[in-house]
Amino acid sequence: MKSPLPRPRFFPSVTTTVAALLVLSLAGCTPTPKPPNESEPPAGAVQIAAVGDMNGPKTSKRSSPSGRNGAAITQLVQDEEIDAFLGLGDFQYDTAYCADYVKYWTKLWGGTMPKLYWVSAPN
First-to-last alpha carbon distance for the chain, in angstroms, is 88
Residue 90's pLDDT band (cuts 50, 70, 90): low
Please, which residues bridge with residue 49 across strands? 85
Residue 83 pLDDT > 80: yes
pLDDT of residue 104: 77
How many C-beta neighbours within 10 Å does residue 70 have?
A: 24
- Mean pLDDT computed over 68-80: 94
Residue 123 pLDDT > 70: no
Residue 12 pLDDT > 90: no
- Mean pLDDT computed over 36-56: 80
- Mean pLDDT computed over 110-115: 92
